Amino acid sequence: MSDTTKNSAERKEADRLQSGGLLSVLKRRPEAGSFLVMLVAVIVISFASNGNAFNPLGLKNNFTVISQFGIIATGACLLMIAGDFDLSIGSMIGFAGMSMAMMLKWGLPFGLGAATPFTAFLLTLVMTLAIGWLIGTIVVRSKLSSFIVSLAFLFFLRGVTEVSFRLINQSTQISGLQDFKETSWFAAMFGGQALGWFYDTWFALGGNINRAGNQWVTGFDARFLWWVGLSLVAYIVLSRTQAGNWIFATGDNSESARANGVPVDKVRISLFMFTAFCATLFAACQVFDTNTADAAKGNLKELEAIAIAVVGGTLMTGGFGSVIGIVFGAITFGLVANAVFFIPSIDGSYYRVFVGVVLLTAVFLNESVRKRITGGL
């Protein structure tokens, strides 16, 4: 065979593998399965609710829940890619909400005066990041499973939150806080509204007018922008930076990564701090939106965050995952969790049935994807 014929044959084989392998490529993408599940959920809920789930108010309510899921699932995703779990996320939400609400109601600690939304958030963030650092440090220094260490902090933080509420507030709830988002731009960043131009346009087209002839909805909750921004930053970090390579390497084989100069311990501790940041962001949006706090806030959110990460294509064993998959997973979970408000005939308990079925299915699919990528290893 001449060189020309040989090269031509090689090119044809390469073209065949490249052009004919679209389905094969999709099967290797961790977010492919979560996209299909999301698509089915959107279509089914759209028809079952007669389109009410996607009218102006439906969009706002759905994206409020979706954004909450997305914020905490993004933190859980990055940590799971690095091979760790944080079961304290839900308790951290309750702790952070309690901290901010108490400072806003009773003032700064040690008699330092009244608290503003900025100072309450900043001091709370310092505490939660310190706790995240402590959890990560215990995990890397003791070599204990992150599952056990974070489980201990799940109980510890929930207990501290309830005890503090009862000692200082004589109740496990704080309600009737001043509506700070009306007077503080900082509080409005978390509890206010965003993207009003979208609904203004919808209003101009006649799709956002109530029976009285007034504009029905004026914007998305601010947490929607926080979720979008957080997802974008996480995506860039994972796919475009050295830090992203370090995260994947840490979860894939930490000893090999360490031998190649990856600061494995710093990566893991930083990601525990990142999940603490996500929990604090979640809590701030709740407190400044509703002007209330409750010791029970965030209950079971850590499990939902992990479930969304798995459905989004993140492997339980680490080293593999996608922020895009988390976006699809958060949309799916948010729509299904909120479906009871648009489809009255559905029992809310079916949401848990859905989570269980989809989670188990996702685990099998993710393992299949992992084997295809690694050649069955």
As given in the structure block, the two tokens for residue 326 are 């988390």
Taking residue 362's Cβ as centre, other Cβ atoms within 10 Å add up to 23
In CATH, the number for domain 53-374 is: 1.10.3470
- Cβ proximity of 280 and 226 under 8 Å: no
Please state the domain extents for the chain. 53-374
Per the structure block, which two tokens stand in for 101? 């609400």
Measured CA distances, 99 to 102, 116, 169, 179 (Å): 5, 13, 12, 17
Element (H, E) at 294: strand 293-294
Structure confidence by residue, pLDDT tens digits, 42-59: 998 888 888 888 888 888
Determine phi and psi for 294, rounding to 5 degrees.
-145, 140
Q: pLDDT band at residue 362, thresholds of 50, 70 and 90?
A: confident
Q: Look over the chain and give the mean of its residue pLDDT values, rounded to a whole number.
A: 85
CA distance 93 to 73: 13
**Of 19-23, 87-91, 145-149, 180-184, which gets the smallest average pLDDT?**
19-23
| 278-313: pLDDT as tens digits | 999 999 999 999 999 998 899 889 999 999 999 888
pLDDT bracket for residue 18 (50, 70, 90): very low
Specify the pLDDT at position 377: 52
Name the token pair of 175.
């309600």
